[in-house]
Structure formats: C-alpha cells, structure tokens
Amino acid sequence: MRTLVTGADGFLGANLCQELVWRGHDVVGSALNRKGKTGLDALGVDIRVEYGDVLDLAYLRRLVNAHEIDWVFHLAAVSIVRVAENDPYRAIQTNVMGTLNVLDAARGAKAVVVASSDKAYGDYGGVAYSETMPLKPQGAYELSKALEDTLARGWARFTDARVMVTRCGNLYGPGDVQFSRLIPNSCRRIVNGVPPEVHPGAWAYSREWLYVQDAAAAYITLAKKGQTGEAYNIGSDETATAGGVAHKLAELGAVGKPVDSNYEITEIPSQRLCSSKMRRLGWSPQTTLDIGLSNTLLWYRQYLGGPCGF
C-alpha cells in the first residue's frame, strides 16, 4: 500500500510511519521543514520525506499524484495548546485550511484518516465522551480541532475516498521530542537525576493515557475498516491524573517525589473516552499504563544517554 503521512516528523507521525514500514507499506512523509531533531530521527525511521506546507495545495497535489498514494494519514497541525493560544490565527489557518487542502488533494485516494482530538469535545465534567456528543470547544486549539473535525466528516460527501476522523486520548511513549509535555520532560529530568515537575494547577487533571504504538495500530485499522464520514474515539480505558503519572515515573526512576514547575496552565480538568465504536472494528489497546511508562522511561534513558537500569 502506498501511504502518505503528513506531520511525519512529529511524535505520532513518526511512530505511525515506523508501524507502517514494519507492516510492509511504501511510506512517504510530509513535513514543513528540516529543523532540529525530529521524531523520525529519534526512532531511526528511514522513509522518504518531502518538505512543504499543507497550506500549499499545489504541493500536496503533486505529492499525492507523483507517489500514487492509496492511504493518507493527516497529522500535520499546530498541536501544542500553548502555541495555539498565543497565535490562534495560525492554529486555525493551519489546522482547518491545511486539512481542507489535504482532503482536496486526496480525492483519488482509497482512505484518508484525519487527526482531530478529544479536546474538541470541551468540558463535560468528566463524563466519558461518546462520538454522538456535540463538540463544545473552549480555547483556540480546541476550536481549531473542532472545525477540522467537522470539515473532514462533512467532506466525505464530496470525495470518492473514505474519510475518517480520530479523537485520541493523551498519547505517550517513545519518540516524543517535545519536552514541554509532561512525560518527555519527566523522563528527561529523571535521566538527569532530578524528580519530575508538574504544572501547579495540573496535579489533579485527569486524562486517559494511550500508548503511541496502540494509537498507530488504531489509525491503520481505521484506514482498513473505518466508515466514511465517521469519527472514532481512541482511548485506553485507563485514566490517571498528571500528578499520578509523575509519581509513577518518579518511582520507576527512584528520584524522589515530583515538584511544582514554574508556570501555570489551564486546560479541561477531566477527560475520558468511550471507545466501544473503535473496538467494534477489532482494535483494542495492548499496552497498560504501567508497562507503557516503564517502556517509555527505558527508551528515554537509552535515547538521552543515561543508564539503562532502574
């Protein structure tokens, strides 16, 4: 299968490319530019990468047509909440118009899977999200994802490709080089012999944590079996607070109790997913949170050059 992954140099993108290569796919990645260490570098994934902007429709059309792409996984986005809040115009332009361009360029593909987010649901007070719930975005990132989500599902009427949307829980695992996030930063601090840190307001924030390789497998399942125009929650059924995850990592790393970081964040306090629709396609998560965190810390010890033993 000839497959295109936009945002291939990111955390999920690199893991998805790795999984596709393992499964024998001919994979082409798209990335905005070549800057610093990427997820592909971190995981050692060797694929062809084309550089260009998803806001450039002509670039995307050339990419899809030149490589005769069958499947498209659209992950390119402004994906950091803080960045989106600081520049909402950029977030909405990239996440919405970039998605429109990908969908238009991929009219002749067999399947297109678009990455939305569980944050597009907004705050339901900790009630498990189902795909039938209205999207109630609050911040700039959430709004951009809700618009992208709605656009992709509606676009299914105008294309021969099957178009599916994913709403994933919080991803973690090997290959995440965005050290502003809780788990990568915690692992880096542990490798350096200091305890994890948690944003002062986020200790009790509850999330459903999904190992990135399970997420990659879910994306591939959707490309094979997903119903066009539909959204799918992808979660692990395992929730934990940010403080709880930091404590688990601190225990694994034997570095003492987590501490407060220097700045605050404000996000949805509690998020859970009902993923039964995804499970009916035959997918289920294979990695528990305890095993996933252990694997992740081991990977960062090796990647960052620290000792491999716990």
Distance CA 84, CA 82 (A): 5
E-only strand ranges, 174-258? 197-198, 206-211, 230-234, 239-241
Instruction: Please give the single-letter amino acid code of residue 180.
Output: S
Taking each continuous run of H as one helix and of E as one strand, the counts in the chain are 12, 12
Write down the residue that tokens 């996984």 correspond to.
73
Other Cβ atoms less than 10 A from the Cβ of 98: the count is 24
Residue type, 168: C
- Tokens representing 50 are 């084309």
- Residue 128 makes CB contacts below 8 A (sequence gap 6+) with 272, 273, 274
Question: Encoding tokens for residue 284?
Answer: 């289920």
Name the strand (E) or helix (H) holding 72. Answer: strand 71-74
Contact 53, 32 (CB under 8 A): yes
- Return the closest-CA partner of residue 11 out of 124, 123, 115: 115
Residues with catalytic roles? 141
Angle between helical axes of 11-22 and 212-225 (0-180°, round to 10): 60
Amino acid at 290: D
For residue 121, with 0-12 CB atoms within 10 Å meaning exposed, 13-18 middle and 19 or more buried, which class applies? buried
